[in-house]
Structure 1
């Protein structure tokens, strides 16, 4: 028989390589699971935190704006009775300006948009016309988007209409919030400065920045983006998305109903990743000493396991030498496996071969039926090709087996295959080899057999299976093809011939045997 090349690897190398690979793979998997799990938790926490920040700030800004509108409403009611009294209007404008730090300037205009009173006087707004006429046209409380004021400042204008007791529209009273200067909204936003790499900013409905930790960004108009769009269209929420510079952000957002502005609290995803990397490095440094100790233990155990087996393997090559018994007896057997192998070697080559044969049988059996598998068949045919003059092959499969699976289920189909295997073993001689080569396909090899003998065996098997009442599925039939191999012929050609004869049996109506010779076909 042909022999395989001598392996270059020995047991010691394999054991150590397997142990080290397993340890490294386990450690790598642990790090990966830790990294991905912690990243997911940190991202989720960051999104929830940013959404909570944005919602809280939006609520605060809404309260400030509502308070400003309430004060303007009060002033509107108080001046409606004296709207033509210039000193009273001027006095009320100055009083409102001094009331708190909400407004940087206050003005009162008539219905045509002409400013008739204002504070502070240094701005000299009296007599000028309002820049924006939308508050005059809508005649309702309004909070504008940012725009350039008459004085050239970037402001937001909060206004309330003034009506007479008879309902006549007289004009409006309003206050401007200068974005570049300290104001109530900016003070509120400054209270929420983050120290975790996150920042908060405020935009109006036109995407103009009203507040930003970087004063240079105030007044800039942001490009269309998923975060800003969501803040202006939805009440609140969170998302992971790129900002205008393409940096991936973890953002929470909330809208301000009264002004249709949006508050955004966001944190760069890179901060999370940097934190994770730092944590991973710390964990790796902490595990390194224990990992090194573990590797040393693995190395020692590998030597402890492999050295006796290596010596036994070396002794097994010289079992016929006179000193082999003493050599094997001198090998230490500190664990059960080495002791058992040493005992097997001491009993002799025959017992060792018998044990190896049993192990090979397990490796070469079909797990469902217990018959020989394709590997065992190929090795047997390789041996027979060298030692036999002739053998017969009987190819067979179950007729309409798909119908069995479809009707009764694969569990019943598997039980049918096992019962088929038992009948094949009962019909086989001790030297015959029964194989399952796939699905419902089986092969029976008969060494030193003639074609007529093989055909008789095939017919007996067909008859027995036809007569058997199988559990669940009842009666089944098989079709068989019988071919003969002679020394010098191709084994693969013989197997193909028996397959062709099998398919010829199926073509002729199934439940029959077709052999290489023209034997009468029996049909049931």
Structure 2
């Protein structure tokens, strides 16, 4: 204003002017400044709007990152679980089918002995054929053929098979119990033929006795498979060695020959396993398979990957709906807080985009909270980071744990050993193996064996020290690592563990024992050599009678003597 006054002709004496003149001078100067001020449109955005937009972008980025991590991790876990479940399911069904087929062969074997004693008595042969047919209704028809393949007795009589010749000669030429692939019978039915050779008392081959199982109507195999119908979108089917479908939930598929399919090919080439592959229809499947040794058939249990993805998407939508109200409330709160929270909010929003980073908690904690609002937002982000890190920690724990026993797995063991090697931490290694564990599985089944493994793992945790690392390295083999341990300490812990397990009484199994080998690692040595020594000591314990502890010190004394 002063500069504008000096530009006027009377500027030098304006201070002595009348009040009217002073008023005119100030108004004139204000008008001049307004005329020369640059003209701009009034901004429509307010700081609160910008803060809300910025917070919205950061929140979406954080949620998207969280959902991507959750979706990817959960999908991988669900896929792995589905593969393991399908493999176990197929193996269980294959075992059941094998038991049924073995039972049928045993029945025919007994009948062949009876028939061999009265092979010339046609009446007795017909009676035996009818007896086999009506015994447990496993077969749809039964026949007895001579060495040339001519049917000399059969049941039921309505089929009128007597006098006809067998279509397939392989059971006659092989002269051994066998189960055929599917084929069209003399009556035009799709059947599987189970046969057993007949020999006389002096070993002369007389012929065979066999039963047919019709695949296109109710039969023993179909009844067994129907007990295992899945309701989670998965299905089970049975194929023979020529990829012909013997059982399928869709009856129209029975008897069809499958096109080239990587899942079926893998099932026919391997005893058991699982894989993720495209089927002949172009759908990606998660499949498990197992073979049936007596017939060379395969059981395949598979589930579409799309079912898992649909389940995961539905879960993700539910989570999103649950988070949405809280997200809207947070955005409205940010709008209301205003300008004063702009700086800390920017830093908090930047940190919020990396909630899954390990240093996210410390980074958020370092943001100054000079007023209540910023403190509240920081607290909420700290809680979110903590929950996310806990989730990631749980996933990491699952990746480092044995799913059956909960002990550390081989990956966790290797990481721990690498850390100890860097810090030159001496440790004692105790190799543990359950004595005669195969006998437990063969006698009581794998379910009881798994329970025994869990019990042994629990006893090992109880018998070990707080800083010790208990690992399951495979099957019934365990490894106990004692940091800062010595041979004496390892021997003491090993003997305590051996005594505890020997005294424990397990359900169904009763008492079991273990053998242990104790070795010591020192700085400069190879860790793999130490573990191999403990393993050799373990087998030395087994060679000395099992249920004992052998240490490096004991082995040296034996070698010197």
TM range, normalised to the smaller chain?
0.5 to 0.7
1:330-350 deviation digits (Å, cap 9, x = unpaired) = xxxx959xxxxxxxxxxxxxx
Report the counterpart of residue 20 of structure 1 in structure 2.
56
Tell me which of 142, 152, 156 is aligned to 2:178.
142
Report the counterpart of residue 8 of structure 2 in structure 1.
none
Report the counterpart of residue 343 of structure 1 in structure 2.
none
Partners in 2 of 1:15 and 1:294 — Cα distance?
12
Report the counterpart of residue 269 of structure 1 in structure 2.
305
Two-structure CA RMSD over aligned residues (Å): 2.2
Tell me which of 198, 216, 220 is aligned to 2:234.
198
Partners in 2 of 1:205 and 1:289 — Cα distance?
58
1:231: Cα distance to partner?
A: 1.2
Question: Structure 1 residues 246 and 14, CA, compared in 2 at 3 Å: closer, same or farther?
Answer: same
1:181 lines up with 2:217 in the alignment: yes
1:278: Cα distance to partner?
A: 1.1
Matches within 5 A, 1:81-100: 81-100=117-136
Report the counterpart of residue 103 of structure 2 in structure 1.
67
Aligned residue for 2:263, secondary structure, equals: helix
1:226: Cα distance to partner?
A: 1.1
Aligned residue for 1:196, secondary structure, equals: coil
Report the counterpart of residue 82 of structure 2 in structure 1.
46
Partners in 2 of 1:306 and 1:272 — Cα distance?
43
1:163 lines up with 2:199 in the alignment: yes
1:114 lines up with 2:150 in the alignment: yes
Report the counterpart of residue 285 of structure 1 in structure 2.
321
Partners in 2 of 1:335 and 1:142 — Cα distance?
85
Matches within 5 A, 1:30-429: 30-306=66-342
1:298: Cα distance to partner?
A: 2.4
- Whether the aligned pair in 1 keeps the contact of 2:71 and 2:316 (CA below 8 Å) is yes
1:387-413 deviation digits (Å, cap 9, x = unpaired) = xxxxxxxxxxxxxxxxxxxxxxxxxxx
1:237: Cα distance to partner?
A: 1.1
Larger-Rg structure: 1
Point out where structure 1 has 5 or more consecutive residues left out of the alignment.
Answer: 1-7, 308-333, 337-524
Report the counterpart of residue 387 of structure 1 in structure 2.
none
Partners in 2 of 1:86 and 1:130 — Cα distance?
18
Partners in 2 of 1:301 and 1:110 — Cα distance?
98
Question: Structure 1 residues 68 and 10, CA, compared in 2 at 3 Å: closer, same or farther?
Answer: same
1:296: Cα distance to partner?
A: 1.4
- Whether the aligned pair in 1 keeps the contact of 2:51 and 2:335 (CA below 8 Å) is no
Partners in 2 of 1:107 and 1:199 — Cα distance?
34
1:74: Cα distance to partner?
A: 0.2
Partners in 2 of 1:267 and 1:164 — Cα distance?
50
Partners in 2 of 1:305 and 1:124 — Cα distance?
95
| TM-score, length basis structure 1 | 0.56
1:295: Cα distance to partner?
A: 1.1
Aligned residue for 1:201, secondary structure, equals: strand
1:20: Cα distance to partner?
A: 2.6
1:306-365 deviation digits (Å, cap 9, x = unpaired) = 59xxxxxxxxxxxxxxxxxxxxxxxxxx959xxxxxxxxxxxxxxxxxxxxxxxxxxxxx
Report the counterpart of residue 509 of structure 1 in structure 2.
none
Partners in 1 of 2:319 and 2:115 — Cα distance?
70
Aligned residue for 1:223, secondary structure, equals: coil
| TM-score, length basis structure 2 | 0.52
Report the counterpart of residue 519 of structure 1 in structure 2.
none
- Whether the aligned pair in 1 keeps the contact of 2:48 and 2:335 (CA below 8 Å) is no
1:35: Cα distance to partner?
A: 1.2
1:202-256 deviation digits (Å, cap 9, x = unpaired) = 0000000000011000000001211111111111111111111001111111100
1:168: Cα distance to partner?
A: 1.0
- Whether the aligned pair in 1 keeps the contact of 2:198 and 2:209 (CA below 8 Å) is yes
Aligned residue for 1:158, secondary structure, equals: strand
Partners in 1 of 2:317 and 2:46 — Cα distance?
36
Matches within 5 A, 1:433-448: none
- Whether the aligned pair in 1 keeps the contact of 2:198 and 2:208 (CA below 8 Å) is yes
Aligned residue for 2:186, secondary structure, equals: coil
Report the counterpart of residue 405 of structure 1 in structure 2.
none
1:301: Cα distance to partner?
A: 3.5
Partners in 2 of 1:234 and 1:114 — Cα distance?
37
Aligned residue for 2:273, secondary structure, equals: strand
Paired residues, what number? 305
Partners in 2 of 1:196 and 1:14 — Cα distance?
48
Aligned residue for 2:274, secondary structure, equals: strand
